[in-house]
Amino acid sequence: MDFVDRSCRDFVEVLSSKEPVPGGGGAAALIGALGTALGNMVGSLTVGKKKYAEVEEELRELMRECNELEKELLDQVEADARGFQPLARAYGIPKEDPDRDRVLEEATLEACKAPIRIMELCSEGLDKVKVFAEKGSVLALSDAGCAAVSLKAAMQAAALNVFINTKSLKDRTLAQEIDLKCVSLMDEYLPLADRIFGGVMGKLRNE
């Protein structure tokens, strides 16, 4: 696969084709990585400047943490593709096969793992972008806002890739548990993304 090692043009071309992977989950992971990188950009444009000396160590630590987030989010592009392949194969099992339901259930749960992890990583990214927006260079303020909306979009996209799978689970109790976890993350972090964006917009427009 190695989708993240391809050019942006190649990635988009494969994404727009009928190939089963990468799909929405892989795209969400990439968008999340871009959002986190934008947060890091704010840090890079801030550290080393006398005006921001008091927050330099804090931002450097955030940047180190964001580097790890970026790497893991990019890893989720491949993880999502690997997680979907067993499900794609399971759908091809004849309906009369007595093992079909079990295999489908297991494959569906596997396909949920990467999107859930993407949501978790995006939430961590938003916590860090909040600080970049508050304490980073005013010259990079718009980038902090772009980071927030990118991470929000990535989280929403990942959630959809969870819900389309949990909808078909036979174990409805487990499906509801997974859905609740995703909804809880969105309830906490989508408003945070909106607050970051609103704060940036207000400052840029002097509101």
pLDDT, tens digit only, all 207 positions of the chain: 577 888 889 989 999 998 888 899 999 999 999 999 999 999 999 999 999 999 999 999 999 999 999 999 999 999 999 999 899 899 899 999 999 999 999 999 999 999 999 999 999 999 999 999 999 999 999 999 999 999 999 999 999 999 999 999 999 999 999 999 999 999 999 999 999 999 999 999 986
Topology annotation, domain 22-201: Four Helix Bundle (Hemerythrin (Met), subunit A) (1.20.120)
CA 69/CA 125 separation, integer angstroms: 7
Q: What is the distance, to the nearest Å, from the Cα of residue 63 to the centroid of all Cα atoms in its chain? A: 17
The 10 Å CB-count burial string (b at 16+, else e) for 83-97 is bbebbeebeeeeeee
* Percent helix / strand / coil, the chain, rounded to 5: 85, 0, 15
The candidate with the shortest Cα–Cα distance to 175, out of 163, 186, 187, 183, is 163
Q: What is the pLDDT of residues 19-67, one digit of tens each?
A: 888 899 999 999 999 999 999 999 999 999 999 999 999 999 999 999 9
Q: What is the DSSP letter of 92?
A: T
- Distance of alpha carbon 168 from the chain centroid: 23
| Tokens standing for residue 56 | 């330099």
Inter-residue contact 25 to 84 (CB < 8 Å): yes
Q: Please give the Cα distance from 143 to 37 (Å, whole number).
A: 10
pTM over 0.75, yes/no = yes
